[in-house]
Amino acid sequence: MKWMWMVALVALVGCKSENKAPASAEAGAPGAPAAQKKLSVGFSQVGAESAWRTAETQSIRGEAEKRGVDLKFADAQGKQAQQIQALTSFIAQKVDAIVLAPVVETGWDVVLSQAKQANIPVILVDRGIKVTDDSLYTTLIASDFVEEGRMAAEWLAKQTNGKANVYELQGTTGAAPAIDRKKGFEEVLAKYPELKIVKSQSADFTRAKGKEVMEAFIKSDGKQIQAVYAHNDDMALGAIQALEEAGMKPGEGVTVISVDGVKGAFEAMVAGKLNATVECNPLMGPLVFDTITKVRSGEKVEKFIKNTDRLFEKTNAAQVIGSREY
């Protein structure tokens, strides 16, 4: 009789183990079938300085949610020290990958070496970095900022017949888009001796600083101001406000060109106050996670995955504005 109970018991346990691992072999225990572990990704974002930045954050967080990724998000409020802290914490948490939008170009070697030692791939988004060893990051997904600067200058040269006093609103000091958008712009200006940058100052990619710096330019130079080149739309919108408050005519008397292509810029173009903007696509969520999946499956990815940009003018803004996603 007793042995019959034994047979029944063995039969019972057998069944369970097919469906569920025995108690001792809980998920993650040696020999237990691997529970479907969520992909964990650490995302260190610059901050929320512009409409562009907010659109990028939403694109990456939205895509992570769609794909069921465990995304650890850290907003650095524009501070590199906070980004380094976030990366150090991601490494300690043994995330599967790191996504970094680096606020500035330099100062990343140490923390990225730690990520490399921990075998955690680092995907850079929208801004490049300068490191001693390129293998410290896997790839950069971004636009070509030098080319954006060239596009803006070529357009302005045509618009002004190569002759104007230009006032430049630079992005965050030390940030790749600020350095490169200036470089590309100046490269083209060299061909037009009467198209000159009269004053140039950082307004940190924000609308408020754009207004403030433009007010100072107006106070010192007033009517001499013929054109404004802003490294992003938010600063241009601040400058437009300052020009209007000073009784000047942005979009007419003063030609204004910027970069990003956010909705606010299209509204300003439709209103005739902004002349043109060079698009810079922030909607990188799908591409970021496709790239992480490729890297984790051992597939080779390009070192620089380049987004293509277009230039939009106020002449065609009204037709396009309805289809803009950010």
Binding site for ligand GYE (CB under 6 A): 49-50, 52-53, 126-127, 177, 205, 232, 234, 259-260, 280
If the CB atoms of residues 52 and 217 are measured against ligand GYE, the closer one turns out to be 52
Nearer to ligand GYE, 164 or 259 (CB): 259
The SS3 call for residue 306 is strand
Question: Minimum CB separation from ligand GYE for residue 171, in Å?
Answer: 6
| Residue 288 near residue 39 (C-beta atoms within 8 A) | no
- Structure tokens that stand for 121 in this block: 């791939």
Q: Judged by CB, which is closer to ligand GYE: 73, or 192?
A: 73
Q: Helices in 20-70 by DSSP H: which ranges?
A: 51-66
Tokens of 136: 């410290």
Amino acid at 116: K
Describe the crossing of helices 207-221 and 233-245 by its angle, rounded to 10 degrees. Answer: 40
Q: How far is the CB of 203 from ligand GYE (least distance, A)?
A: 11
Query: Quick one: 63 or 180, whose CB is closer to ligand GYE?
Result: 180
Rounded least distance, CB 52 to ligand GYE, Å: 3
Distance between CA 313 and CA 78 in Å, rounded? 30
We find the least distance from the C-beta atom of residue 30 to ligand GYE, in angstroms, to be: 45
Min separation Cβ 248 and ligand GYE, Å: 24
**Tokens 């060079």, residue located:** 278
One-letter amino acid at 323 equals S
Residue 201 pairs with which residues in a beta bridge?
169
Would you say 91 or 274 has its CB closer to ligand GYE? 274
For residues 42 and 149, which CB has a smaller minimum distance to ligand GYE in the complex?
A: 149
Taking the C-alpha atoms of residue 195 and residue 186, their distance in angstroms, rounded to an integer, is: 10
CB of 109 to ligand GYE, least distance (A): 21
Residue 40 C-beta: closest distance to ligand GYE, Å? 25
Supply the minimum distance, in Å, between the C-beta of residue 57 and ligand GYE.
Answer: 11
Find all residues with CB under 8 Å of 28, minimum gap 6, and list them: 34, 35
DSSP state of 118: T
By beta-carbon proximity to ligand GYE, the closer residue of 91 and 235 is: 235
Q: Which string of b and e fits 256-268 if b means at least 16 CB within 10 Å?
A: bbbbbbbebbbeb
CA–CA separation, 71 and 285 (whole Å): 12
Interatomic CA distance for residues 171 and 178, integer angstroms: 5
Which C-beta is closer to ligand GYE: that of 76 or that of 164? Answer: 76
